[in-house]
Structure formats: structure tokens, C-alpha cells
Amino acid sequence: MNAEPLVRGDATFATTAATAAGLIAGMIARPAGRTSVSAYETARLVSLAPWLTRHADRVRYLLATQRPDGGWGGPEGYALVPTLSAVEGLLATVDRDAPVGWSVDGVRQAVDRALRLLHSGAGPAAYPVPDLPAVDLTVPALAERIGERLTRPSVALDRWRGAGPPPLPAGMGRGRLDRVRRLAASGTAMPVKLLHALEALGPAARQLAGVVPAPAGPVGASPAATAAWLGGPDDRWPAALDYLHGVVADHDGQAPCAAPITVFERSWVLSNLARARVPVEVPAALVAGLRDAVNPHGAATGPGLPTDADTTAVTLYALARLGHRVGLACLSRYDTGAHFCTWEGEDGASVTTNAHVLEAFGWQLGHGEPNTATVVHRLTGWLLDQQQPGGAWTDRWHASPYYATCCAVLALHDHGGPRARPAVRRAVDWVLATQRPDGGWGRWQETAEETAYALHILLTAAADREAGPAVNRAVSRLSVLDDACPLWHDKDLYHPATIVHSAVVAARVLADGRRRARPLTRTVPRSALLE
């Protein structure tokens, strides 16, 4: 879309520059990253780590956040994992704890409401199971543990005594959980990708041989996995204890799904800002940290997690946009020949991972990287094949089709060439057709995040004459929409606040016509920011 570029001295320019600078400063001040509280992870700490500071706050949090229908978490099948976790955690408090700031009757009533939901034909198990990481481990493990707790006299839920575990969703069994348990018992090294959900092993996770916390303390970048591995306040592992205390301190006593998310947050934020040419000065130290995060295997979201093609591709793209090109050879290990896997041995495939890899390779065309044109051509075809008949894309890392569609459209528009134009056109039509009457977009409700993604699509790939009215309504709506709705996939839905905020800021910049401004995002020595 055409608009007048902003110039230095313009009031809107100054406001946007200040907002972007605040995002950068926030990432430096809080290097672990900002992500929302997880009901799943918080309930795991209630069950696994009652000795951890602010235990009572976590119990009260679960009681306060239970929905009227008895569940926790997101809509539809997204409620299954957090609701099972909350029930098991609350049953543990009845079985073990003297109430401090909560009543036993209140806990029992909450559990009763949740069990009614889980056993009903209309509960979260009745919906298709979302493609959440380790869902085929966490769900059967929690259901089994709930069944065991309901046999204990101290629980005193007579209505549910002997009811057994809550039913599993159709088609889900415990086969993979049993295989992982056998692997742990065999003494064979546990694959790194399983460490993020190590708590699914139950007591077998405690001090599991071959598992060592990352230097900063976490196991699998997960509070629940770290607590399960520790098994108690073990002073032999002070870094792991400090990690848990720090995580709950940073989240008002609760816990996120993953922490830290340093590389993930910084690479996504910088790529969002750089792509939209948001005026911001990026400290050299922050860029150096991203460069250091890339090794011959790629980059990982955080310590204790495996390297993955998604984080690697976005990190390489962000660095290249900032003028610091890094070779793409580390991505070759994820090339399946047809597409790029998120990690080696991945079940399924990710649209957004491949869109990000396409951007990383497309940005390097003409800069001496071998095979870039071949990869760009192949990934373009793969992404085109994944488009749904209505024009959208969906993905395993996000609940909203607007995120997946945005990632695919931006990559295909910039690097897909003429053969991608019909698919981009269908995506634009789909976005225009799904705008809500108030001006926003959203899968379940209008959100600032999804509206920002829709704006990115329209402002990048649609003509002004057709999209102008839709954009104008959306920009007006953007400032009043909820900016904290969890939509990202982990063991539970979560909200990476700084990443989402950067997408919203970039959408506003594009809407103000800054897409045509000269590149203003650049790297400067950190000392220059202090002058």
C-alpha cells in the first residue's frame, strides 16, 4: 500500500522510535524474556515443589483462575492439559498440605467441578487434540496420576472414589509414554527434546542419570521439568534451585511454560522491527549475543532446549537484516529433502518454520551462499502445497491461522516469485473476508496480535484501493484490543508479550507508511546510546 514515508522530527516518528527503544531496553533489562503464566506449569510446581517459595500463592492462583465450567486454560481442546494439571496439583494439596490461605473445601469443590467437566461428553477431551509439544506424554501421565490420587482416603471425594482416571481423547493412548518410561529405565541417554517435558515421567524423573541442568540451572528450559528432576530442595544443585526461585519471582509466584526464551524473543522482535523498518538503534552487544547463540548445529530458544530450524532461521534473518550476515550451513542438518524439519526427528512439519527458512535463504540470494536459489524454489513449492483451499495456512506452533498465514505470505511475497502470486492473492482475499465487523481479526475473538498479523498481510501484499478501508478500520480498532491473549503453542498456550508487542508496533509502522522509508534500524555501539 502507498503512503507518505515518515521523516525524522515527525511526532509519530518520535513516538514509534521511543516505543521501539523501550522494547529493546526491556529485552536487555530482562534477558530471560517475557512470557505469560501457565496454569499447567504452575500446577506442576504445586504438585512437585510444595517446598518452593510462594507455594500458597500458586494454590490460590489455581483456585482464582478456574473457569465457570470447571476448566482452566484456552478454549476447546486447549483446556485439556492445563485442567488435568490443575486437578492433579489440587488433589496433591488435599493429600498432603495443611491449608494456608485456602480452604480444603474450596479445593475439593474446585476439583469436583473440574472432574465433572473432564468426565462429561462435552469436556475438552471431546475436541480434537491440539498439536501441543509432548501432549501425548503429559495427558496420559496426568490422567493416570489423577486416578491414583482418587484412591487415597485423605482426598475424601466420595463421589469420585473408584471412578478411575479421566477419559483420554479418542485415538490417544499411553504407548509413547510407556516407551519413554522404558527408555528412562534402560539408562540410555534421554534425547534433549524430551527434557522439556521430563515431569511426565513422574518419580522416575528424579535425578535421572544422564540429565544435567544447564549452567544457568534449568532442565529443559521448564520449571516443571526442573522441579521433577530435582525431586526436592537439593542443595547439591544450587543453580537449579536459584532458577526455580528466580522464575517464580519473575512471574508473581507462578510459572511460565518455558524460561528463559532469550534467543527466541530477541530474534523475533528484531526481525519484526527490521522487516517493517522501524526506527530503532540496536546495541552491538545485543547483536553479538545473537551471533554467539548460533553454533554449527544452529540456535536454540533457550538453555536446555535443542537447537531448531525455526529459531536458527529467524536469528540468521534478523542478523542479516541488521547487516551481520552469518552463513546458512547450520540449517542443512534440518533439510529433509522436501522441507525443513523444526528439529531432527520431528513428527509432522511446520509451515512457519519453513516460511522462516525461506526468508533466511531468500535474503541471502546473491551473496555467495551455495544452493540458495534451489532451496528458495523448493520451499516456495512446499509452502504453496500447504495452503488451505480457503486461502489460509495453519501451523503447529500457534493456535491462530493469522500467524501462520502472515509468515507464509511475507516469505512468499518477498521470495516466492511469480508462481506464488496466486496463493498470496487468495490469502489476501481470505483476510479481507474474515475481518470482523468492529475491524479486528481473531480465531476466537478479536485480538491485537491477530489483527497485527492481518495488517502485515494487507500492507505487504494488497493494493491500497482494495484494502484501504479494511486497514483504516483495523488501525482504529488495534489500540483498544486485548494484547495479552495466549495463542502460542507449548505444553500450554502462552503469550510472549514482547514478541507480540513488536508485531503490533511493526503493523502500526506499516500502516503509517513507513514501509517505504529508508532503513533506519541499525546497529550502534552501546556506548553511543548513552551519549
pLDDT tens for each residue of 165-217: 999 999 999 999 999 999 999 999 999 999 999 999 999 999 999 999 999 99
Beta-carbon contacts of 377 under 8 Å, excluding residues fewer than 6 positions away, are none
Count of H helices and E strands in the chain?
19, 6
pLDDT number for residue 11: 60
477: pLDDT strictly greater than 90: yes
pLDDT in tens, 58-70: 999 999 999 999 9
Are the beta carbons of 340 and 351 closer than 8 angstroms? no
Query: What number of CA atoms fall less than 13 Å from residue 170's CA on the CB side?
Result: 6
pLDDT interval class at 471 (50, 70, 90): very high
pLDDT interval class at 523 (50, 70, 90): very low
pLDDT interval class at 514 (50, 70, 90): very low
- Identity of residue 99: P
pLDDT number for residue 520: 42
CATH number of the 39-250 domain: 1.50.10.160
Q: Averaged over 374-395, what is the pLDDT?
A: 98
| Residue showing cell 547439591 | 236
Give the predicted TM-score (pTM) of the model: 0.94
Looking at 3.30.310.50, 1.20.1260.10, 3.20.20.70, 1.50.10.20, the CATH number of the domain 11-34+259-530 comes to: 1.50.10.20
Beta-carbon contacts of 219 under 8 Å, excluding residues fewer than 6 positions away, are 195, 198, 211, 213, 225, 226, 228, 229, 240, 304
Sequence ranges of the chain with CATH classification 1.50.10.160:
39-250
Task: Report CA torsion sign: 325, 327, 331, 335.
Answer: positive
133: pLDDT strictly greater than 70: yes
pLDDT number for residue 516: 44
pLDDT interval class at 12 (50, 70, 90): low
> Which residues, in sequence order, are bridge partners of residue 300?
307
pLDDT number for residue 1: 43
Polymer length of the chain: 531
pLDDT in tens, 227-283: 999 999 999 999 999 999 999 999 999 999 999 999 999 999 999 999 999 988 999
Share of the chain above pLDDT 90, in %: 85
pLDDT in tens, 71-113: 999 999 999 999 999 999 999 999 898 999 999 999 999 999 9
385: pLDDT strictly greater than 50: yes
pLDDT number for residue 10: 59
CA-to-CA dists, residue 348 to 131, 174, 215, 416, 458, angstroms: 10, 19, 31, 23, 29
User: Lowest mean pLDDT: which of 135-139, 157-161, 197-201, 526-530?
Assistant: 526-530
Phi, psi of 405 (to 5 degrees): -65, -40
Are the beta carbons of 87 and 114 closer than 8 angstroms? yes
Report strand pairing: 281-283 vs 299-300: unpaired
Q: Averaged over 363-373, what is the pLDDT?
A: 88
8: pLDDT strictly greater than 70: no
- Across the chain, what does the average pLDDT equal? 92
Sequence ranges of the chain with CATH classification 1.50.10.20:
11-34+259-530
357: pLDDT strictly greater than 90: yes
pLDDT number for residue 479: 86
Cell of 341: 524439519
Query: What number of CA atoms fall less than 13 Å from residue 526's CA on the CB side?
Result: 10
pLDDT number for residue 525: 41
Share of the chain above pLDDT 70, in %: 94
Per DSSP, 420 falls in state G
Rounded-to-integer distance, Cα 142 and Cα 410, Å: 40
Q: Averaged over 463-470, what is the pLDDT?
A: 91
Rounded-to-integer distance, Cα 81 and Cα 494, Å: 13
Region label for 253, one of left (φ > 0), alpha (ψ between -120 and 50) or beta (otherwise) = left
